[in-house]
Structure 1
Amino acid sequence: MVGPRRPLFVLFGSSIVQYSFANGGWGAALADIYARKADILVRGYSAWNSRRALQVIDQIFPKDAIEQPSLIIVYFGGNDSVGPHTSGLGPHVPLSEYIDNMRKIATYLKELSESTRLIFLSCPPINEDMLNNDSSSILSPIVRTNEASRHYSEACIEVCKDMDLKVVDLWSAIQTRPDWRTSCFTDGIHFSAEGSVIVVEEILKVLKEAEWEPSLHWKSIPAEFGESSPYDVVASDNKSTVNVSEFTFHREKQWD
């Protein structure tokens, strides 16, 4: 009994990706939504910027790999947008270089295979007050502003428009919730469960609307080994079984 190969989805980016399986995160939600439909692989690197990602992208996604991802969701920009440090150290990447780096990342990933699809996530807003109240004694002061996040978000969106790539405008999407400053973050930057719901909704919206063949929306992908079996749970008629391979009753939220 051999079914079709499961699609491989890779989440690639900085800490918003690395932490996406924590605190009811968006990566964990995608893994649940795509259970028995696609494999979700996390390639998240806390504190990384686009410059560092570009240095090793060929090791993370080797072009000679036997299997290439069906979908890569990419997020960089939050750390790039941090204000420059007087020492020259730190994650800051000038906006013009960030734009160039994102173009190079997109170009490289597009060349992995003809069937590899990309979705970019733009910089979300931040809660500056929450962030400033959560400073660490082991770190030099870090300058993060909503205004900088907006500029880098707009730059990411513009790159994607120019390259005909799918992009989620997290800057705008998060702020559609009136209480976003207090509900969407754990520390002013990283998403809470409520913030992650918005991220998942926006990703699923892109996947549903994309005219990709084959479709990568979860409702379009059959469950692996989803055929009925006499070993399924017994129905109330005591004569047949019920195929529960695509039941979603366990989810608090029913995703579209």
Structure 2
Amino acid sequence: MMTHVYILKDQYYDDSAVQPSLVIVYFGGNDSIAAHSSGLGPHVPLDEYIGNMRKIAEHLKSLSEKTRVIFLSCPPLNEEMLRNSTSSTILSEIVRTNETCRLYSDACVALCKEMNLKVVDLWHAMQKREDWMTACFTDGLHLSEEGSNIVVEEILKVLKEAEWEPCLHWKAMPTEFAEDSPFDLVSSSGDATVNPSEWTIHRKIPWD
């Protein structure tokens, strides 16, 4: 998806009685595709991308004093893997480069600093792994499980460190339906049930 404010306004109405507590904005990958000679395609020039992201940020900040916003910058990509996975007679050549992703990522980070918004710099965060080019993608572009784990970890880090009131980190939030229930799983003793509301053992990675 590309940066278009009208899409956002369809999702979040200024006069809604209940506004979101948290919005995570994730644009840039398609915008950063090189312009096609026909003028068609998803490319959005960098200046226009910055302007669109600014409008999106302003709109979200206007929804409510309690609406928090986190921007995710454009992640990197594996150019060779992407070329091999997108070779097709159906599509025209799709030109994506990791350097262009960096330009859009840096622009997003700079805008968020200017507007005092929280931002996750995915372009740099993913490349901290030595094997990022093979571990983080399924096809050079779309994120694998390992790549998605990095996104989750970075978002949780922001939520934990942000001085927001109320705090939106999961450990600080009340658990819904946390009361004991006779319909929970039966314990090994056979005379009681086990409340699973705080279980974390089923998660493949720890949620810090």
| Structure 1 counterpart of 2:69, from 118, 129, 134 | 118
2:6 equivalent to 1:55 = yes
Structure 2: distance between partners of 1:119 and 1:99: 16
Give how far 1:130 is off. Answer: 0.5
3-state DSSP class of the match of 2:36? coil
Alignment of structure 1 residues 26-105 onto 2, 5 Å: 48-50=1-3, 53-105=4-56
Other-structure match for 1:199:
151
Structure 1: distance between partners of 2:28 and 2:137: 17
Structure 1: distance between partners of 2:21 and 2:70: 11
3-state DSSP class of the match of 1:134? helix
Structure 1: distance between partners of 2:80 and 2:185: 52
2:119 equivalent to 1:167 = yes
Cα distance change of structure 1 residues 61 and 238 upon mapping to structure 2, 3 Å threshold: same
Structure 1: distance between partners of 2:41 and 2:190: 66
Listed as ranges, the gaps of 5+ residues in structure 1 are: 1-47
Give how far 1:229 is off. Answer: 3.6
Give how far 1:126 is off. Answer: 0.4
Structure 1: distance between partners of 2:194 and 2:11: 42
Structure 2: distance between partners of 1:80 and 1:149: 9
Structure 1: distance between partners of 2:30 and 2:181: 50
Other-structure match for 1:20:
none
Relative to structure 2, which stretch is displaced further, 122-131 or 81-90? 81-90
| Structure 2 counterpart of 1:150, from 97, 102, 106 | 102
TM-score (norm 2): 0.94
Other-structure match for 1:15:
none
Structure 2: distance between partners of 1:166 and 1:175: 20
2:60 equivalent to 1:109 = yes
Structure 1: distance between partners of 2:186 and 2:38: 68
| Offset from partner CA, 1:136-166 (integer Å, 9 cap, x none) | 3211111100110000000000000000000
Give how far 1:234 is off. Answer: 4.5
Structure 1: distance between partners of 2:39 and 2:47: 17
Structure 1: distance between partners of 2:20 and 2:109: 22
3-state DSSP class of the match of 1:228? coil
Give how far 1:66 is off. Answer: 2.9
Relative to structure 2, which stretch is displaced further, 83-92 or 152-161? 83-92
Structure 1: distance between partners of 2:6 and 2:182: 53
| Offset from partner CA, 1:222-244 (integer Å, 9 cap, x none) | 21110234544444555554322
Structure 2: distance between partners of 1:232 and 1:183: 38
Question: RMSD in angstroms over aligned alpha carbons?
Answer: 1.5
Other-structure match for 1:38:
none
How many residues are treated as equivalent by the alignment?
Answer: 207
| Offset from partner CA, 1:171-209 (integer Å, 9 cap, x none) | 011111111111100111110001001000000000000
3-state DSSP class of the match of 1:120? strand
Listed as ranges, the gaps of 5+ residues in structure 2 are: none
Asked which structure has the greater RCO (Cα within 8 Å, sep 6+), the reply is 1
